[in-house]
Amino acid sequence: MTEAEWLHGTNLPTLGEWLEEQGYQRKLRLFVVACCRQAWDLLPGEASRRAVEVAEMFADGLATAEELAAARAAVFPVHVAGKDPRPFRATIAAGFCADEHGLWDSPVKLAEMAADDAARPGATEEAWLAAFQAEIRKKIVFLREFVGNPFRPVTVEEAWLVRNDGAVPKIAQEMYDERAFERMGVLADALEEAGCTDAEVLEHCRGPGPHARGCWLVDLLLGKK
């Protein structure tokens, strides 16, 4: 994988599998969790949502492999596919979110689900495929939210973390704990007040997002990998 391939690649599983090889398992699981959370209202049944929650806890070391396997196993018996394929795809996504392997089925199934919505009933196969590819591109952009550019890692300056009574890590921790990523602008202000002039850092905070647990910058400020 080259830097250009990472920045411009369009094959989601290829990018993800390379990240797995580089040791980004936690971030990859949080990415898949975040994709499922974006479709939260379409996850059918408590078991599906519980699988996502346990997968998120597992990523941060708050659930065991046994709990993860149990959450995954509970997903599939509760669903019977009907005429609408979206609940089936959402269920599959939630189940693989809580799998120790096969994570890439989750974002792909969710992209298929979004394509079902974007391509109206009766649309041509070409229209559906175009919608699916557009959704995959969105998910690749979202994946980069979790990793940034691994070929040009940002370095946190100690001053950012200690000035103003440690305001920056405090804000970052609150955002992480509460999933309050709408406060990225507040974090940018705190970073500037702490002496940060790094354009990439500040632009990431003030950019359009979306942001989620696993955000490369928030993780960096909290010492998470």
* Each residue's pLDDT tens digit, 16-54: 889 989 999 999 999 999 999 988 888 878 888 999 999
Could you tell me if 66 and 131 lie in one domain?
yes
Could you tell me if 92 and 126 lie in one domain?
yes
**Tokens found for residue 98:** 């809580």
Residue 55's pLDDT band (cuts 50, 70, 90): very high
Could you tell me if 186 and 89 lie in one domain?
no
Q: Decide if 153 is inside a domain.
A: no
Residue 106's pLDDT band (cuts 50, 70, 90): confident
Could you tell me if 57 and 109 lie in one domain?
yes
Share of the chain above pLDDT 90, in %: 59
**Tokens found for residue 160:** 């950012």
Could you tell me if 46 and 130 lie in one domain?
yes
Residue 84's pLDDT band (cuts 50, 70, 90): low
Q: Tens of pLDDT along 151-207? A: 999 999 999 999 999 999 999 999 999 999 999 999 999 999 999 999 999 999 999
Q: Decide if 61 is inside a domain.
A: yes
User: Is residue 46 packed enough to be buried (19+ CB in 10 Å), middle (13-18) or exposed (0-12)?
Assistant: exposed
pLDDT for 83 equals 58
Domain C-terminal end among 147, 167, 183: 147
Residue 82's pLDDT band (cuts 50, 70, 90): low
Q: What is the spatial distance between Cα 121 and Cα 119, in angstroms, rounded to a whole number?
A: 7
Could you tell me if 112 and 170 lie in one domain?
no
pLDDT for 39 equals 85
Q: Decide if 152 is inside a domain.
A: no
Could you tell me if 100 and 211 lie in one domain?
no
pLDDT for 101 equals 67
Contact (CB, 8 A) for 10 and 137: yes
- Give how many domains the chain has, as a whole number: 2
pLDDT for 196 equals 97
Domain C-terminal end among 147, 169, 198: 147
Could you tell me if 83 and 185 lie in one domain?
no
Q: Decide if 83 is inside a domain.
A: yes
Could you tell me if 208 and 103 lie in one domain?
no
Domain that includes residue 206, residue range: 158-222
Whole-model pTM: value is 0.89
Could you tell me if 143 and 170 lie in one domain?
no
Considering Cα of 70, then 102, then 179, then 87, what sign does the dihedral take? negative
